[in-house]
Amino acid sequence: MRPTILSLVAVLSLVGCRATSPASPLPTEAPDPPPGAGMGCGIRGQLIDSFGAPRFLTKVAATTLDRSAQVTTHSDTGGYFALPTECRRMIAVAGRTDSGTALGLVWVEDEAVDVELQIPGYGESIYVRPQRLPDALRLRVLQLVPPAVLRDAGEDERRCDARTNELRRIRASEDDETARHLASVALMETGCGPCPGDETSTALVGALSEDRGLAEAWPFGYGRLFACSPGPHPYEAKFMSVVDSLDPEFAARVVYGRHVEAQAQGDWDGADRMARLLDEGSLADTDFVAGLEVVDLVDR
């Protein structure tokens, strides 16, 4: 059972317009700051419609992929809004359309992300336009490899070549370290390329500070990183800490990704350790594990 973001974001109908200002002149005052001025991590900006006009007094919502944190707000009369979120997580944003609800994705690192969100009259996608290059690079990774809970089965195999090349370019770019981290894990998620090697993968794991968000977005790829060399990983404690922090459905995918890569590397002891994790405790009761065939865990 995939977590469904859309089913949890209840978008309310439009509220009424504000009353007009009195005709008498008012004293000159400094304009009010836009919503979200001075906020920490979050998403702020303007909602627009298909023609570029502001969507005022429109409800917009944001949620983490595991649905543990959700927030809603309304845009003001200029279409501006602000949604405080957790840091270093992939965030799904949703808004009302004439045909239902549309969804977009934003990566929030350690500060507010300034965006323009175009919500069409019809359709299921919000067009996210970041105002900064680093945020645009991060968004591109999300577009190339959507999070596991929102991907259709089988779509990965159809896009390996073009997607792999662009992910590698972002991974090699000096423009933004976070985008490099996202591209590295997303590339592992696709299964379109091998492990980057013992030293490279270990250095990458040590450099990551967005582990929970990365593991939620691309659990298979995150798990694979820890199996690029046989035996216990130098950051084994980090791996277990992340697994323990995740919703069990996400944690099971992470452990399975490491299990599969350990088999590919011929690390049978490592594969057995991951199989035991999947067969015990809270992970054994997940829908993801229930959907696995026994041969997936024991086949050599």
Q: Is 246 exposed, middle or buried (0-12, 13-18, 19+ CB in 10 A)?
A: buried
What is residue 291's DSSP assignment? Answer: T
Task: Residue 255: name the closest of 229, 287, 279, 231 by CA.
Answer: 279
3-state DSSP percent of the chain in helix, strand and coil, to 5: 40, 20, 40
* 270 Cβ contact list (under 8 Å, min separation 6): 227, 230, 231, 232, 258, 262
The answer to whether the CB of 233 falls within 8 A of the CB of 265 is no
- Predicted local distance difference test score (pLDDT) of residue 10: 38
Pair 105, 147: CB distance under 8 Å = yes
Structural contact between residues 83 and 42, judged by C-beta atoms closer than 8 angstroms: yes
- Dist. CA 198–CA 264, nearest whole Å: 14
How much is the pLDDT for 143?
Answer: 95
Q: How far apart are CA 254 and CA 189, in angstroms?
A: 10
Q: What one-letter code names the amino acid at 228?
A: C
Q: What is the pLDDT along the chain (300 residues), one digit of tens a residue?
A: 444 433 434 332 332 333 333 455 555 565 677 787 788 999 999 999 999 999 999 999 999 999 999 999 999 999 999 999 999 999 999 998 888 889 999 999 999 999 999 998 888 899 999 999 999 999 999 999 999 998 876 555 556 777 889 999 999 989 999 999 999 999 999 988 788 888 889 999 999 999 999 999 999 999 999 999 888 899 999 999 999 999 999 999 999 999 999 999 999 999 999 999 999 889 999 999 998 865 455 443
- Assign a CATH topology to domain 38-131: Immunoglobulin-like (2.60.40)
Question: What are the residue boundaries of the structural domains of the chain, listed by start?
Answer: 38-131, 143-298
